[in-house]
Amino acid sequence: MADLAAILKDPNYVNANPATKQAIFDKFAPQDPNFANANSETQLAIRSKFGLTPVDSGIPEGRSGVSQIPTEAGANLTPTGSEPVSMRDRIMGVIETPAALVGGLAGGIAAPIAGMYGQLSSPAPQGSPAAMAAGEAMAAKARAQFYQPRTETAKQILGAVGGAMEGLPPTLGGVGTSLNALVAPTVQQAGAMVRPAVSQAVAPVRNALTRKQPDMVGMGAASTAEDLMRQQRLEQFGIRATAGERERNLQKQQFESEVQRGAVTGISEDAKVALSEQMRRFEAGKRQDIVRNFERMTAETGAEVADPTQLRAVGKIVDKALNDEYTKKFDAYKALYAKADSAGETLQPVSYQSLLDYINTKTPTARGKLDPILDSVAESLAMNDPSKTGTITVRALEDIYQQIGKVKGSPSAPEMKQLITQMGEGAGGELYQAARASRKQLAKEFEDVSRVDKLLGTKAGYADRRVALDDVFKHVVLDGSLEEMRTVTTLLKKAGPEGRKAYAELQGQTIQQMKEMLTKGDQMSFKNLNTLINQLDNEGKLDYMYGKAGRDQILDLRDAIKDVVVKEPGAVNYPNTAGVVLRGLEILQKSPIKIPGTQTAAEFARTRQVKKQVEKSLEQPNQLAPPQNRIQLNNMMTGRP
């Protein structure tokens, strides 16, 4: 990809988190001449256009060579800022440190020479302020030509190196000495002096660099950084992985699959069983590592009941919180209405003609059989107006409103309730109008909202709930849009401690649903997990329920699970391709004619080899970096209504 602009439309970039966007940009930016050949100001502008944080060069103006490194020898390399150093910054810092160190050494040689030339070529008298300024300008241009550290990690490591090298001789050699001759001994001497200061802070990173990098299958030059990022993910969540999984190495994954299936050739049946059980125990431990993360996240939401087997219990908690909130607001409305009634404000007559006209638009069949509430309301109007004046009291009108509200599933009920609301506009006094406003708000929050009304209501003509308690979580979180979910969760968030507890159970149950999708079968199903997470994320529900930080943690855990669950194509259920010699030995071992030594020698050598390979596959590497601050999912109710 030669054009940086192309990645702006790539969904892999658009939908990535900030760290991944930075990694993608840094991979392709050097390939685009519009970026690579631009000055620093233009490069900063390009980064800003891509939504990336500008990168500080880290080199103060006016300093040169190794002396540009600002940190004193033995300085503490632990970040002092409030923000933790990102995983990508640590990895890329390790990768760019050698280039920055060599660039600093080269700059230390070139800058003084350029400064001297600038003074000599200046028309101003030698030694004058103008000549010195010209020399410094030329030296600054020379320094700018060499690689500068961009990440915090590289700056910290080089800071320690710079402090240590203050003890070096003031000159690096004659002008005629080549840079290549200087770099090796200088770096070697610097390493010996700075090692005690650096080792404590960056030892895990150094361990990663000194380990032999595995041979990659089908991967490019960026494989080392990708391996480090994968390893960081796994260590962040404490998930063990085989060598084949960490390195995405097809051959190693095939070997690990053979061992687990007991299909390794050239060893005894007992050895096959023992190694297969060892691999299966490792896989069981990996599964426990993953499940432990889901349980931790569930606990961090504050949920206490949430579990795939406790859907009914969670439904009861949500149902109780909603019903209690509805009852509280209904009682408040009734109290206001009682005050208005006691003050005589409900005795004022109002016309009911508009309601009667609506009822008369319906056919006798609809009124008598399909929607009986129509005839029931007409009869109530007649009973409250025996003199046929065309008016009834506000009190009688409120009674009819309550009568309609008790009927569920009537297609005419919403329209009739709306007509009654219009008939009462301006009637009575201030007390009655306050009661009406309270009643209107109650209907707006509970009765006129389908998601909420179904949770509180029963089936028409039955005592059964319209939404079973076992289906409450599905009804609120999984079914419907984000806006529909918000109609329920907003009420819970405002319903005091009991409501917030119910919302926490919904958050926890969502995490448990992810665990269930992954682990409900004998084999973990990343496809099911990924489908659920993508559904929730595409609808904006992850961000709404857990905040941006919580969402990112869930997506990172998903990626870590993918690292260990999804194998390379051909790694599982492939034809066994053991060597011809080993297969020949097995044939000889089973043949009627025995050749002395074939059984024990072949099995001994092969078993020893396989055991070592298994040990290597299951060996967990040293931790690459200090533990990151773990995002807490509790109190992730983002303030959004």
The neighbour count for residue 175, using CB atoms within 10 Å, is 8
User: Using the 8-state DSSP alphabet, how is residue 264 labeled?
Assistant: -
Give the model's pLDDT for residue 330: 93
Most confident of 1-15, 275-289, 562-576: 275-289
Rounded-to-integer distance, Cα 288 and Cα 281, Å: 11
DSSP-derived 3-state class of residue 465 = strand
Distant-in-sequence, close-in-space partners of 143: CB < 8 Å, separation ≥ 6: 59, 64, 68, 107, 110, 111
Rounded-to-integer distance, Cα 294 and Cα 516, Å: 10
Distant-in-sequence, close-in-space partners of 345: CB < 8 Å, separation ≥ 6: 394, 428, 429, 431, 432
DSSP-derived 3-state class of residue 350 = strand
Burial (CB count within 10 angstroms: exposed 0-12, middle 13-18, buried 19+), residue 621: middle
Token pair recorded at residue 519: 């682990």
Identify the residue with better confidence: 287 or 634: 287
Specify the DSSP element, H or E, that contains 391: strand 391-393
Q: pTM of whole model > 0.75? A: no
The whole-number average pLDDT for the span 320-342 is 95
Contact 374, 359 (CB under 8 A): yes
Q: What is the mean pLDDT of the chain?
A: 76
User: What does the pLDDT look like over 548-560, one tens digit per residue?
Assistant: 999 999 999 999 9
Q: Residue 176: is its pLDDT beyond 60?
A: no
Rounded-to-integer distance, Cα 503 and Cα 318, Å: 7
Nearest to 213, CA basis, from 203, 201, 204, 225:
225
Token pair recorded at residue 485: 């979910």
Backbone angles phi, psi at 457, to 5 degrees: -95, 170
Rounded-to-integer distance, Cα 561 and Cα 452, Å: 36
Helical pair 430-442 and 311-342, crossing angle rounded to 10 deg = 170
Give the model's pLDDT for residue 184: 42
Contact 434, 301 (CB under 8 A): no
Q: Residue 457: is its pLDDT beyond 60?
A: yes
Rounded-to-integer distance, Cα 14 and Cα 182, Å: 45
Rounded-to-integer distance, Cα 358 and Cα 375, Å: 11
Rounded-to-integer distance, Cα 297 and Cα 630, Å: 10
Rounded-to-integer distance, Cα 319 and Cα 457, Å: 11
Give the model's pLDDT for residue 445: 92
Rounded-to-integer distance, Cα 416 and Cα 413, Å: 5
DSSP-derived 3-state class of residue 228 = helix
DSSP-derived 3-state class of residue 458 = strand
Identify the residue with better confidence: 152 or 352: 352
Q: Residue 407: is its pLDDT beyond 50?
A: yes
The sign of the CA dihedral 588, 590, 592, 594 is positive
User: Using the 8-state DSSP alphabet, how is residue 517 labeled?
Assistant: H
> Locate tokens 């300008």: which residue?
137
Burial (CB count within 10 angstroms: exposed 0-12, middle 13-18, buried 19+), residue 476: buried
Q: Residue 46: is its pLDDT beyond 70?
A: yes
Q: Lowest-pLDDT range, 212-221, 251-260, 434-443?
A: 212-221
Burial (CB count within 10 angstroms: exposed 0-12, middle 13-18, buried 19+), residue 172: middle
Strands 391-393 and 349-351: antiparallel
Q: Lowest-pLDDT range, 104-108, 203-207, 398-402, 592-596?
A: 203-207
Q: Residue 55: is its pLDDT beyond 90?
A: no
Token pair recorded at residue 548: 């941006």
Rounded-to-integer distance, Cα 131 and Cα 125, Å: 7
Token pair recorded at residue 144: 């700018």
Give the model's pLDDT for residue 570: 84
DSSP-derived 3-state class of residue 611 = helix
Give the model's pLDDT for residue 155: 59
Give the model's pLDDT for residue 464: 77
- Helix residue ranges, H only, 165-178: none
Helical pair 580-590 and 598-618, crossing angle rounded to 10 deg = 130
The neighbour count for residue 508, using CB atoms within 10 Å, is 27
Contact 624, 231 (CB under 8 A): yes
Helical pair 526-538 and 496-519, crossing angle rounded to 10 deg = 140
The whole-number average pLDDT for the span 529-539 is 97
Q: Lowest-pLDDT range, 129-138, 214-223, 303-312, 470-479?
A: 214-223
Rounded-to-integer distance, Cα 524 and Cα 339, Å: 62
Contact 337, 344 (CB under 8 A): no
Give the model's pLDDT for residue 61: 41
Rounded-to-integer distance, Cα 173 and Cα 158, Å: 22
Nearest to 275, CA basis, from 577, 621, 606:
606
Confidence bin at 44 (pLDDT 50/70/90): confident
> Locate tokens 């025995």: which residue?
594
Give the model's pLDDT for residue 327: 95
What are the residues facing 392 on neighbouring strands? 350
The whole-number average pLDDT for the span 153-178 is 46
Q: Residue 495: is its pLDDT beyond 80?
A: yes
Nearest to 287, CA basis, from 623, 529, 616, 621:
529
